[in-house]
A and B are shown apart, each in its own frame.
Chain A
């Protein structure tokens, strides 16, 4: 998703596994992929680490704190969760 996402916007993390397609550098933890969350706040724009890691030209991407209910991932978790995620990993939920 692109454009400024307001706090409260529902999002889903792309269910994608670039690791299965070759060497890569991913900052999106496995356990939130495919999960629904809510934009908590915008954290600014940072250069795409997936390209920086290979010294490739890296565009700036919006980075968000996305909030998840951990109980929906692991019923025993009893907490919520903030994760920094780049806009390129988010889709509308």
Chain B
């Protein structure tokens, strides 16, 4: 039997059967994981950001242990890489990239945007980050330092942006609606 001559559906079914036979994952578990992966979307990360902006205790938890914070929001994290959260503060802006491949906090943001895996994004993020931000329409004042975070190993990273001015008194639901995917990667900044 030569693997490359087999139908890919047969290979997949064989793999699933082996996983079940060895007690690693059964059909229901695989279906549940696929459903969770497909259901993940930037709205989940936005809800975490909005809660961090309105709940100091949650913000502290999120910065200390992103995985626990996500679980507190009902996001399934079991068996997934730990989630790290990078806080933008006055004078310091974070930008996330994976120069090696495509590491991305899928559990909380869903599938990455198409450009995230492009060679152009990966190269520009580490070499000309300020110019890259400009391509996304983000003009950072010169006195704001950029910290590029190359996601290379066991963590997945998301950015906790600064709460924009003009949102005083807003509740978490209204705040979550202004937080975009790019704000949590660091290519854009939330605004109103």
- Cβ–Cβ contact A84 & B100, under 8 A: no
Distance, CA A43 to CA B156, complexed state (A) = 12
* List of B residues within 8 angstroms of A29 by Cβ: 99-100, 150, 152
Report how many residues on chain B are interfacial, defined by Cβ distance under 8 Å: 21
The residue from A28, A31, A82, A85 contacting B147, defined by CB atoms under 8 A apart: A82
* List of A residues within 8 angstroms of B130 by Cβ: 78-79
Q: Does B20 contact A (CB under 8 A)?
A: no
Contact with B along A33-51 (1 / 0, CB 8 A): 0000000000110100100
Category for how many chain A residues contact B: 20 to 34
Q: Does B5 contact A (CB under 8 A)?
A: no
Q: Does B33 contact A (CB under 8 A)?
A: no
Q: Does A90 contact B (CB under 8 A)?
A: no
Distance, CA A74 to CA B132, complexed state (A) = 15
- Cβ–Cβ contact B82 & A44, under 8 A: yes
* List of B residues within 8 angstroms of A78 by Cβ: 129-130, 146
Chain A residues proximal to chain B, CB less than 8 Å: 27-29, 31, 43-44, 46, 49, 63, 70, 74, 76-86
